[in-house]
Structure formats: C-alpha cells, structure tokens
Copies of this chain bind each other. A is one copy, B any other.
C-alpha cells in the first residue's frame, strides 16, 4: 500500500507536469523516491488521528522532497483520491497473480479431465453413492468453476479505475489554482452547454487544460481505467472486486471440498501429492492445501458481503463505509491469492487412484446401478412388478451382501436372462461426452 500510495502521488504529479501545470522537476523528484525512507509503523500510528494514512504520508512526502517541490505534491487531490487509486493498483497487481494461478490450475485440470474422461467412479449425492460418474467429468466441472471465477475476476480487473475527484468529487480544487472566470463548463468531448458557474479546467501556470485531460492523463500514468465520473461514493469497483473474489473463494472451495472427501482415509481416491506433516504423528500426510483453500472459502463470502454493503455510502464521503473497505478488500485479495496458489499446487500434484474408485463402486453390492436395473425391469416386467421385485432384491443385497444382480436373478423365473448389465463401469451415462463438451470451453478473451 505504501508503495502504491507513492506511485499514485508520483503519477498525479507526472500527469500535471505533462499538462504543464507543475514543473517537470517536481515529477522527477517524486519519481526518484522509494518507500525505504518512510517509517511504516509511524505512519500507521499517525494515521489514526485524521482517520486515514494519506495525511501523515503526504506530510512526510513533502518533507522528503523539500520546500521547493512540496507545493506541487498532492496538488488539488484529496486523501481519497490517493487511497482509492492506490487500492486499485494493489488490486490490479494482486489480481494478476490470482489470475495466473487460476489459469494454471485450469490448464492442469484440463489435462486431468481429459485423461480421466471415462475413469469410472461413484457419483455421490447427499454423501451416498448414487449412480456412477467419471473422474473426468468431476475434474471438468472443477475447471468450469475455475474458469467462471477467472472470467469474472479478469473482467473486473480490466475495469479498475483511477480515482480523481478532489474534496467532494467535483474536481473543484483542480480549478482553484487560477481564479480567472471560466469560459466553459464542459469537459472536452462532451456536448457543450450554457455556462452555469462551473469553473474551468485551468493550470497553475495559466496553461489551459481540460479537467478531463487531467483525469485521462492521471489514469494513463497509473495504468488504470479512466472513470466516467469520480467514484468516491459510487463504489462499484470495490463491490465488483468483492463479488469476484468471493466467487473465487467459493469456486476453489468446491474443488477443495471434493478433494477433502475423496482423500479421506476410507475413500482414498485422490491424494495431495505431498501432504503436510503432523507434529504428533510422523506418518501422517494431511491435505494441507485443500484445507487452506477451504479455510479461505469460509471467509471470502463474508468479506464480499462487507464490500457489497459498503456500497451504502452516504454523502460525498461516508463516515465508515469507505473506511470499512480498506482492510476488507486487502484481506480478500490475500485470501483469494493464497487460495488460488494453494489450489494450483493442489491440482498440480493431485494423485488419482482409479483402482480405489473402481473398488469403491463395488461397495453397494451393485445397487449403484439400481436406476438402470429399475428401467430395464420396468420394461420387461411392468412398472409395478419391477418396483416390488427390485425393492426385495435390494433388501437382500444390502443385508446379505450378495450382489444385486444375483438377488434379482433369484427372484426372476428360472432361466430368465438378467435384463440389465450389472457392471457399474458401463453405466456412465453421458459423462465422457459431457467431459469433452466441458473441455471445449476456453477462458474468455
């Protein structure tokens, strides 16, 4: 944040220098600074008095550049301009890291899904075996969610705007340096209106420069998007980040939840490549990455709620809603970043055990294909008789441990061929084809 705040002040001065509003030397002086000269803890302590860190930061900044340059530092800006823009820079850079991890995770999941498009495993609903599916379809689903998260986050990143509005979002301070009467109230490119009191966009040295030119230059210098209007109390960028980061948490949390289930000692169908150790049990290999992702997934929706709630920002700067965003946004970025990295490592090293999947498919004595049996028996015996027979056979299978096929055969007239294929691995429905279909999707451009 400190580095970003310095970058923003420098960008503002560069933008003004480029328009001839302040000396180029002032911009050079700011560009020459780095954060090593600032005392972070002191800034934090002094920040409480004024309720934001920009006030002491600008004081130190002016001291650092000396009295000649000081008047051109932070010129016309308000604390919020600096803090909001700095938060956007931090978000932009943090989100880039998150996107890279999500892209990498999606690529690895594509390979995993393709390799296992027809690897049979139990489909589980409400914790119970339902019908077979394939691991490929599961992995393709994970990828689908990861891409959903990625696309939402990438879309938000592209829109992150610089903030420049001055004390109350009217840009008035940028017009105040030259008191001469305005001749126009328009931003260049806007349809002209009759003048109605709006001050002109003029520089300290008398050169004419549209305010929109200043905003555009500032946005360009920061590399952020140029906002249509100041967004000091129109907190869409922050709310959008909150929503997208909350989505990242949920999407990765789904992957983690599945890995945690499938990796249970009793299930054993997947394992983290190199699990975390335990301080008490030397042999234990914990699904540490899935655990960290799951933890982040428990926190991110709540942070998203704070950031959505911060849209409710009264006046031209709210007393609390804005301040609640600062830590919540950074926490959300950190958690999503940690989760994305852990998830990428998780899928990169995931060990898949098709043999255990196949073995587990046998646990229900064939009942995992009861749905197929029901359809086939209904076709040959009629719906009611089929239902009765299947219930009886299922009870036998569950209690006696005999396979369903045997139990059904025992109830059919002697010599009747079994009207269904009892092999779970041939009852995959469209799972392989759906896997293929899912993998045709690419990340949004």
Given contacts A125-B167, A198-B432, A265-B124, contact A281 B314 (CB under 8 A): no
Report if A263 contacts B (CB, 8 A): yes
Closest Cβ of chain B: how far from A6's Cβ, in Å? 16
Within 8 A of B (CB), among A180-218: 185-187, 190-191, 193, 196-199, 201, 204, 211-212
Cβ A247 vs Cβ B243 within 8 A: yes
List B contacts of A251 (CB < 8 A). Answer: 311
Copies of this chain in the oligomer? 4
Which of A16-24, A99-107, A252-260 contacts its partner?
A252-260
Cβ A137 vs Cβ B169 within 8 A: yes
Complex alpha-carbon distance, A425 and B251, angstroms: 40
List B contacts of A287 (CB < 8 A). Answer: 126-128, 319
Report if A352 contacts B (CB, 8 A): no
Report if A353 contacts B (CB, 8 A): no
Cβ B230 vs Cβ A133 within 8 A: no
Given contacts A54-B279, A311-B250, contact A266 B131 (CB under 8 A): no
A184 (CB) vs chain B CBs: closest residue: B433
Report if A97 contacts B (CB, 8 A): no
Cβ B78 vs Cβ A167 within 8 A: no
Out of B283, B419, B441, name the residue touching A367 (CB < 8 Å): B283
Complex alpha-carbon distance, A371 and B176, angstroms: 8
Complex alpha-carbon distance, A291 and B233, angstroms: 15
Cβ B291 vs Cβ A319 within 8 A: yes
Complex alpha-carbon distance, A311 and B298, angstroms: 11
Given contacts A74-B279, A429-B199, A432-B193, contact A179 B376 (CB under 8 A): yes
Cβ A133 vs Cβ B169 within 8 A: yes
Cβ A433 vs Cβ B185 within 8 A: yes
Cβ A197 vs Cβ B265 within 8 A: no
Closest Cβ of chain B: how far from A145's Cβ, in Å? 5
The 3 closest A-B pairs by CB, nearest first: A250-B311, A172-B429, A294-B320
Out of B117, B145, B190, B263, name the residue touching A236 (CB < 8 Å): B145
Out of B253, B298, B314, B323, name the residue touching A261 (CB < 8 Å): B314
Complex alpha-carbon distance, A259 and B333, angstroms: 33
Out of B130, B193, B235, B376, name the residue touching A278 (CB < 8 Å): B130
| Chain A residues with a Cβ closer than 8 Å to the other chain, count | 174
Known contacts A199-B426, A297-B309, A300-B308, then 20 further A-B pairs from the complex at CB < 8 Å, ordered by chain A residue = A51-B291, A55-B276, A74-B279, A118-B197, A123-B316, A125-B317, A126-B288, A132-B168, A133-B168, A145-B234, A172-B371, A172-B429, A197-B427, A198-B433, A230-B434, A250-B310, A265-B363, A282-B390, A299-B327, A304-B304
Complex alpha-carbon distance, A291 and B304, angstroms: 21
Cβ A127 vs Cβ B260 within 8 A: yes
Contact with B along A313-332 (1 / 0, CB 8 A): 11111111111100110010
Given contacts A281-B167, A310-B250, A387-B282, contact A118 B198 (CB under 8 A): yes
Report if A63 contacts B (CB, 8 A): no
Most buried by B among A49, A133, A169: A169
Complex alpha-carbon distance, A308 and B50, angstroms: 28
Given contacts A50-B276, A288-B51, A302-B303, contact A177 B379 (CB under 8 A): yes
Complex alpha-carbon distance, A171 and B123, angstroms: 12
Cβ A436 vs Cβ B193 within 8 A: yes
